[in-house]
Amino acid sequence: MIKKLTFFSLSVVLLFTISSCEDFDDALGSNLSESEIVAGLKEALVVGTDTSTSILGATNGYLKDEAVKIFLPKEAQPMLENMEKLGITNLIQPLIDQTITSMNRAAEESAALDSTKVIFKDAITTMSITDGYTILTGNDSSATVYLKGRTYSRLLSNFSNIISPVLNKNLISGVNLSTEELYTKLINTYNDGVSVYNLAYTFNPEKQLDKITSNSLAEHATGKALDGLFLKVSEEEKAIRKDPVARVTSLLERVFGSVN
C-alpha cells in the first residue's frame, strides 16, 4: 500500500513538472528556459520594488502624490465637513495640515529603509517555478499579489516600528507635543466646537452634530502607507508587462517581450 502511494505521489509530481514545462512553452512560444523565465520574473520584481521604494522613500514621495498621500482617518471626516459650519476652520486647519504632513513624512521614512527592500528581496528569492508560471501568465497585478501575500505581515511590523515612534516623538525640539498628541488636540478642539454648536439646538436634537472618537493615528498611517506602497509596485509591474521602455534590462525584454 505504501509503495503504491509513493509511486502515485511521484507520478503526480512528474506529470505536474511535465505539464509546467509545456505550460511555459505554450505561454512563451520561445526557446527561453524555465530558469531564464524565473530569473526574469525575479528581476522584474526587484526592479519594480526598488523603483517603488525609491520613489516613495524620497521627500514628498507620499505627501505630493495624490494617489498615495495619507489623509486623516475616516473617523475625522465629519470634522472636515463641519469645521466651517462651526466657525473653527482657521483654528484647526493648521493642525490638520501638520498632522497630514507628519504621517506622510513617517511613511516616506519607512519606505526608504533598507530593511523594506530586504523584505521584498527575501520573498523574491524564494520564488518557485510554479510561482513564476502563475505570475507570468496571470493578470497585470499577479506579481504584486504574490509579493503582498509573502511580505505584508513583515512590512506591517517594519513600517509600524518606524511610523509609531515618529508620530509619538516631539514635532519641534523643546516643544512637548507629538503628532499623536496634536491629533488628539485636533479632535478635542473639534469636539469643543460641537458642544457649543449643539447648545444652540438643545430643543432640536436632530440638527446636533456627533462628536469624534479618536483611534490610533499610527495604525491608520501604517495601513495607508502599505496600501500606497503596493499600489506603486502594481504600477511598476503593469509598466514592465506593457511598456518596452520599462524593461530596463535585456533579460526583462526577452521574457516579457516573449509573452507579448
pLDDT digits (tens, 9 = 90+) for 112-139: 999 999 999 999 998 888 888 888 788 8
Which band of pLDDT confidence, cut at 50, 70 and 90, is reported for residue 244?
low
Indicate whether 203 belongs to any domain: yes
Domain count within the chain: 1
- Rounded mean pLDDT, 128-152: 87
What is d(CA 184, CA 177) in angstroms, rounded to the nearest whole number? Answer: 10
What is the torsion angle, in degrees rounded to the nearest 10, for the CA atoms of residue 116, residue 117, residue 122 and residue 127?
120
| Residue pLDDT, tens place only, 21-32 | 445 455 444 566
The whole-angstrom distance between residue 212's C-alpha and the CA centroid of its chain comes to: 27
What is d(CA 147, CA 48) in angstroms, rounded to the nearest whole number? Answer: 11
Residues 240 and 247: beta-carbon distance below 8 Å: yes
Indicate whether 103 belongs to any domain: yes
Residue found by looking up cell 483654528 in the block: 91
- Structural domain of 178: 42-259
Indicate whether 211 belongs to any domain: yes
**Res 246: pLDDT:** 59
pTM (2 d.p.): 0.81
Indicate whether 155 belongs to any domain: yes
